[in-house]
Amino acid sequence: MKVLSIYIFLFLLCGMASAQDLNATVQVLSPKVQSTNKRILQTLETAMKDFLNGRKWSQDNILPQERIECNFILNVTNWDGNSNFSGELQVLSVRPVFNSGYTSTLLNTLDKDISFSYTEGQTMDFSDQSYLGELTSILAFYADVIVGLDYDSFSRFGGTPYFAAAQTVVANAQGSSAKGWKAFDGNKNRYWLQENLNNKLYQPLRSFMYDYHRNGLDLMADNASKGKKAIFDLMPTLSQVDMQRVGGMFPLVFFTAKRDEFVSIFANADMQQKVQVINILTQVDPANGLKYQALQKQ
């Protein structure tokens, strides 16, 4: 009986380990909150971390070393001293580059429409069938997006089922009074991010993500010139993104994550290549035009 118990324990332990897809770091900050007792913020931070890291988000068995690195920073700007919170959530995720110690940013976004209720010690309930709460729905939405972007970078359109899962979270939250879930809340929110990611008009950008990472960045450790050439040859395909949709949420998220990396990659290119890259990037990402123009001076 004792041996059987050990086997059961090991089986459960292995199951728990395989259920973890994310390696999420969570920070809850509250510089604007005036309170002498912020213990609840510490328990909130732990609850968020346990929720993100303790659930199964992908369809595959993820090894511990393959867990997706991500960071959630919740800046609480208002707390009523009881259970009601509001603030901003910064979400960042990266993926490793093959045979290197370098990580490439996939997501770097600031959600300014966070409001939720949390009581110290409460269970973090979530269901993909219905809306059970604001905080867990927001965390699950970004977990699905993180996994989807990661899969898209390793397999062409591999993130499709996870973007569909994010779409389901949004659909379930349509009855919520909180901001960020609906089309009329603005054009830069959770609704529009999932809409773009699931919209076929943005497939050229998703396809670019795969080629850029697998056929470009992942080659650079072994052959830097070959990897850079592959990325340079790929840049014109960014122009396939519908120009009327350049201001969409997904392009905004994509270029926020990649703008500095683009500049770094082409910093040592010859001037002819730089001019071509600058022209493409300023066309498809005019908001960061000055950053790309700086390439001419490097």
pLDDT digit string, tens, across residues 14-26 = 444 445 899 999 9
- Tokens linked to 249: 């949420």
- 63 with 210, same domain: the answer is no
Computed from CA positions of residues 15, 19, 24, 27, in that sequence, does the dihedral angle turn out positive or negative?
negative
Residue 85 lies in a domain: yes
Residue 46 lies in a domain: yes
Residue 197 lies in a domain: no
Residue where one domain finishes, among candidates 101, 126, 158? 158
Residue 187 lies in a domain: no
- 148 with 260, same domain: the answer is no
Residue 260 lies in a domain: yes
- 213 with 138, same domain: the answer is no
- 25 with 105, same domain: the answer is yes
- 121 with 22, same domain: the answer is yes
Residue 32 is predicted with a pLDDT of 81
Residue 19 is predicted with a pLDDT of 55
Measured distance CA(136)–CA(58) in Å, rounded: 17
Measured distance CA(235)–CA(295) in Å, rounded: 15
Domain count, the chain: 2
Answer yes or no: are the C-beta atoms of 262 and 281 closer than 8 Å.
yes
Residue where one domain finishes, among candidates 90, 125, 158? 158
- 19 with 154, same domain: the answer is yes
Answer yes or no: are the C-beta atoms of 207 and 157 closer than 8 Å.
yes
- 210 with 123, same domain: the answer is no
Residue where one domain finishes, among candidates 158, 181, 216? 158
pTM over 0.85: yes
- 9 with 148, same domain: the answer is yes
Would you call 86 helix, strand, or coil by DSSP? strand
Residue 253 is predicted with a pLDDT of 95
Measured distance CA(213)–CA(156) in Å, rounded: 11
Residue 10 is predicted with a pLDDT of 39
Residue 182 lies in a domain: no
How large is the angle between the packed helices 203-212 and 249-265, nearest 10 degrees?
Answer: 30
Residue 185 lies in a domain: no
Average pLDDT of adjacent 10-residue blocks, the chain of 298 residues? 40 48 96 78 96 95 92 95 94 95 96 94 93 97 98 98 98 95 92 96 95 96 93 92 77 95 94 94 92 87
- Tokens linked to 83: 């259970």
Residue 9 lies in a domain: yes
Instruction: Give residue 284's domain range.
Output: 206-297
- 146 with 211, same domain: the answer is no
Measured distance CA(295)–CA(277) in Å, rounded: 9
- 152 with 17, same domain: the answer is yes
Answer yes or no: are the C-beta atoms of 48 and 139 closer than 8 Å.
yes
